[in-house]
Amino acid sequence: MEFTFLADLPNLFMCLLAVYFVTVWAKLPHHYTFLLAAHSFIPFFLNDVLFSASYMGDQFRYWGAVQSIREGGGEMVSAESTVGAASWMLAFIPLPFTETIQSLGFFNKFVYILLFGFLYKRQFLTPFSASFFLLYPSFALYSGLSLRDTLIAVSMIMAAYCAIKNYRIMAFMWLVPLYFIKFQNLYIMAPLLFVYLFLGINKNGMTPRRVILFLGISVISMVAAFPVAQPLLNHYRAAMFMEDGGQAEAIQLIAGLSDFLNTGTTSGLYFLIKPFLWEASGILQFIQSIENIGMVAILFMLIRQAWLRFPKRLMFWLFFLVMSCSIYGLVVFNYGTVARYRFPFITIFVICVAAECHIHQLRYRRSDNHA
């Protein structure tokens, strides 16, 4: 533990230096500076402290690949695989050492800090969404691990930011990394942002009638594509189930169209809120269950306030959340994997709704209406 701590002190120093830089550049309040500094220490308390490093064994693949790239053996790391592509991106983050399994956690925290500073400087974060960004447990956790998830979240958040700012080309350029490191998210984000940008939703918002229309079109399109999509859907359900440790004989495949529609309807909500308390099988899942209760309460209050203030602005992001949760809910089984895949969509929803509906605090006052 002593060697582990000492080996990553230079990485910690670089994160704290980044905190100082964004504090001065973005003129952060002291409490945000404190929280960002606290984030810089999180990688020390995850692997082999909160849980065994082997619990998220993918970390060893990224760690080994980045070490190989930095030691001149990059030809052995194929950029055609998602692990390889993400590792090449991580390798160029300007932190000095990759000596331990938690080293890349500092790399990710460095990016996390810069992202927060950028969004705050651009006045895209409200006091509420800034606090959510810094205190959302899943974002804090996965941005402190040696995984690709922070890169995925940054790409998605920046694409949504550019879309709201009407930077059309930049919005889709920020989606390009997803093609290499998380293509599923690209297939979710690209059509939704296209609808947002090119159907005038970024300017006029979305009426409830239009939401129902788009949901209807989406369902009809999925029903029409079902004969082609069913084998692919079952392939990914099986792959994700077995990757998460399930047995082949226990896989529940989509049997037909009615099963598809029923599963798609219920799995989206389940994806958003699982695991329940009684489903948790370890301390990390128990923490995630507690987080879910708080998250659902926050989402309820945020949606209520946004509906009272700017319902047309809220409608698209509700559509975004429903579609993304429903699609992932069809293929993801493992509770830890659900939390890992869910947090970028939750973060985008909260940040974008707060920005578009001007939500500065969760407590709604009538005097704030249309402020």
Q: Provide the pLDDT for residue 371.
A: 43
Q: Are residues 83 and 215 in the same domain?
A: no
Supply the range of the domain harboring residue 299.
205-368
Q: How do the pLDDT tens digits run along the chain, 371 residues long?
A: 455 678 899 999 999 999 999 999 999 999 999 999 999 999 999 999 888 898 888 999 999 999 999 988 767 777 778 899 999 999 999 999 999 999 999 999 999 999 999 999 999 999 999 999 999 999 999 999 999 999 999 999 999 999 999 999 999 999 999 999 998 899 899 999 998 998 888 888 888 788 888 878 877 887 787 787 778 777 777 766 655 555 555 567 777 777 777 777 777 777 788 777 777 777 777 888 899 899 999 999 999 999 999 999 999 999 899 888 888 877 776 666 788 889 999 999 999 999 999 999 887 555 455 44
- What is the identity of the amino acid at 177? P
Assigned domain for 339 exists: yes
Asked if residue 357 and residue 286 are part of one domain, the reply reads yes
180 in any annotated domain: no
Phi, psi of 47 (to 5 degrees): -65, 125
**Are 219 and 348 within one domain?**
yes
Beta bridge partners of 47: 51
54 lies in some domain: yes
Q: What is the pLDDT of residue 323?
A: 86
Looking at the domain assignment, is residue 338 inside a domain? yes
In a domain, 186, yes or no: no
> What is the token pair recorded at 367?
């005097």
How far, in Å, CA of 33 to CA of 307, rounded?
A: 32
Residues 212, 352 within the same domain: yes
Which among 12, 17, 31, 19 is positioned nearest to 117, based on CA atoms?
19
The predicted pLDDT at position 261 comes to 73
Same structural domain, 84 and 226: no
Same domain, 130 and 229: no
Q: Dig out the tokens for 297 from the structure.
A: 């309460």
Of the residues 147, 165, 181, the one at which a domain ends:
147
128 and 219 fall within a common domain: no
* pLDDT score of 370: 46
Examine the fold and report which residue of 127, 147, 167 is the final residue of a domain before the chain moves on.
Answer: 147
Q: Which residues contact 155 (CB under 8 A, 6 or more apart)?
A: 174, 175, 177, 178, 181
- The tally of CA atoms less than 13 A away on the side-chain side of residue 278 is 0
The answer on 120 and 217 residing in a single domain is no
Considering the entire predicted model, what is its pTM? 0.90
Query: How much is the pLDDT for 332?
Result: 74
Count of domains observed in the chain: 2
Whether 350 is covered by a domain: the verdict is yes
pLDDT for the residue 368:
54
Six-digit token pair at 154?
């940054």
234 shares a domain with 320: yes
Nearest to 11 by CA among 197, 158, 162, 144: 144
Counting Cα atoms < 13 Å in the Cβ hemisphere of 35 gives 17
Q: How far apart are CA 50 and CA 365, in angstroms?
A: 40
Using CA of residue 252, residue 254, residue 258, residue 264, what is the dihedral sign? positive
Tell me the sheet residues that pair with 51.
47
Tell me, yes or no, whether 214 and 331 share the same domain: yes
Q: Which of 147, 176, 194 is the last residue of a domain?
A: 147
Three-class secondary structure of residue 307 per DSSP: helix
Closest by CA position to 328, among listed 344, 309, 351: 344
Asked if residue 176 belongs to a domain, the reply is no
> How many CA atoms does the CB half-sphere of 209 hold within 13 Å?
0
315 within domain boundaries: yes
* Residues 121, 238 within the same domain: no
Q: Are residues 358 and 210 in the same domain?
A: yes
Q: How far apart are CA 162 and CA 290, in angstroms?
A: 33
Q: What are residue 51's phi and psi, to 5 degrees?
A: -155, 165
Within the chain, residue ranges assigned H as helices are: 2-7, 9-26, 30-41, 58-70, 82-91, 103-121, 127-135, 137-142, 149-164, 168-181, 183-198, 201-204, 208-243, 257-273, 283-309, 311-329, 335-357
Structure tokens at 290: 């507690």
Instruction: Please work out, in degrees rounded to the nearest 5, the angle formed at the alpha carbon of residue 144 by the alpha carbons of 47 and 116.
Output: 170
